Amino acid sequence: MNPDWQAFLGARGARVIGDGGANDGAAAFASAPADTPCALTDLSHLGLISVGGTEAADFLQGQLSNDVRELSETHTQFSSHCSPKGRMLANFRLLRFEDSLFLVLPRRQMDALLKRLRMFVLRAKVSIDDASDALVCLGVIGTCADDVLAARFGVLPQGDNDMIRAGEAALIRVAGTLPRYLFIGSAREAQAVWTDAAGHGAVEAHPDLWALHDIRAGIPTVLPETADAFVPQMTNMQLIDGVSFHKGCYTGQEVVARMQYLGKLKRRMYIAQTEIDLETGTAPKPGDPLSAAGSSSEQGPGRVVDARASAPGRWELLVVAEIAAAEGSELRLGDDGPVLKLREPAYGFGEAA
């Protein structure tokens, strides 16, 4: 975490999470209710990979699942880096800052992705650096801070994944049941935005609240527990502007394209809810297996992508599950855990072309 940013949040009563989990490295305030209408969340558990140089865009075009040519100063996109078997090793938001491209992803995924991308540089005129502590990531949920953000950026981004710039800071509109914005900028600019937004009624909240809104929006995050587990379409990446099927070759492209045009998608990602006894149950976590009566799949009927508590004993999850199992039998956490109530995300399951 940027030291100036850490000192600022510490002075406001936050504690840095150091449990090795999904929010490791972020600063947490008291957990806010899931229905909090306006909140601020530190997102320092997210890191930034900077890819610069005259051949940066061409290099990433050959490595990522989305079409880098469609990025602009006002549009970001989701993307992923896959294994030769087409399974996601990491996924992230991709954006352009002037002459550099940035990948925004969990810090726990950073070392592995940095190492892998650097393997493919060879003689390309590309620099790949960890820029995580040079800039601050924070989230704004709700509309109470709109006036603050509009005053700083001039206007607000209107469409999902749209971006507005002001100096070296960026504001990105993120899909959700409430308006959401991802702020990326210097510690000084982040402090000003945070202070002004809190003064306008935004509650200082735990980063779990941001993740809960990602779950509700059907936005997957690949973590170490699920790396190399899912082809992009299994997590609906093609439905949230995360896969291009016309861009040309990249690592794993043949498998991803074959599933889209020649195969049949047998697994997809659902939003799920369940209740767990706080005294006897175990909290769900990324990578946990699912079970279903009658399933004969060697891989099991599904796995948890992410999970967050929305109330004591109540959990909301993203799960990748066999379509047949999801439609034909009860899915449970583990072998004998609670039943999951499934629903499709708001963007639906219509296949993207």
CATH number, domain containing residue 171: 3.30.1360.120
Co-location of 57 and 205 in the same domain: yes
Structural tokens at position 340:
């999951």
Average pLDDT (247-252) is 90
Co-location of 299 and 210 in the same domain: no
In percent, how much of the chain has pLDDT > 90?
81
* Domain stops at, among 168, 194, 217: 217
Query: In this structure, are residues 26 and 208 in contact, taking their beta carbons and an 8 Å threshold?
Result: no
Cα–Cα distances in Å, from 278 out to 19, 49, 290, 311, 313? 20, 38, 19, 11, 6
Element (H, E) at 5: helix 3-11
One-letter amino acid for residue 262 of the chain: L
Categorize the per-residue pLDDT at 281 as very low, low, confident or very high, splitting at 50, 70 and 90.
Answer: confident
pLDDT digits (tens, 9 = 90+) for 188-212: 999 999 999 999 999 999 999 999 9
3-state secondary structure (DSSP) of residue 305 = strand
Q: Is residue 102 part of a domain?
A: yes
CATH number, domain containing residue 307: 2.40.30.160
3-state secondary structure (DSSP) of residue 121 = coil
* Domain stops at, among 165, 189, 217: 217
Co-location of 36 and 61 in the same domain: yes
Cα–Cα distances in Å, from 257 out to 23, 135, 203, 234? 33, 36, 44, 13
Of the candidates 139, 143, 236, which has an alpha carbon nearest to the alpha carbon of residue 181?
Answer: 139
How many other CB atoms are there within 10 angstroms of residue 325's CB atom?
Answer: 22
Average pLDDT (20-27) is 90
Q: How many domains does the chain have?
A: 2
> Mean pLDDT in the chain?
93
Co-location of 114 and 47 in the same domain: yes
Q: Measured between alpha carbons, how far is 264 from 256 in angstroms, rounded to an integer?
A: 11
Co-location of 85 and 186 in the same domain: yes
Co-location of 178 and 252 in the same domain: no
Q: Is residue 223 part of a domain?
A: no
> Which pLDDT value is given to residue 187?
96
Co-location of 43 and 97 in the same domain: yes
> Which pLDDT value is given to residue 39?
96
Categorize the per-residue pLDDT at 53 as very low, low, confident or very high, splitting at 50, 70 and 90.
Answer: very high
Query: In this structure, are residues 292 and 301 in contact, taking their beta carbons and an 8 Å threshold?
Result: yes
Phi, psi of 136 (to 5 degrees): -110, 140
Domain that holds residue 300: 232-343
Q: Which range in 64-68, 252-256, 321-325 is most confidently predicted, on average pLDDT?
A: 64-68
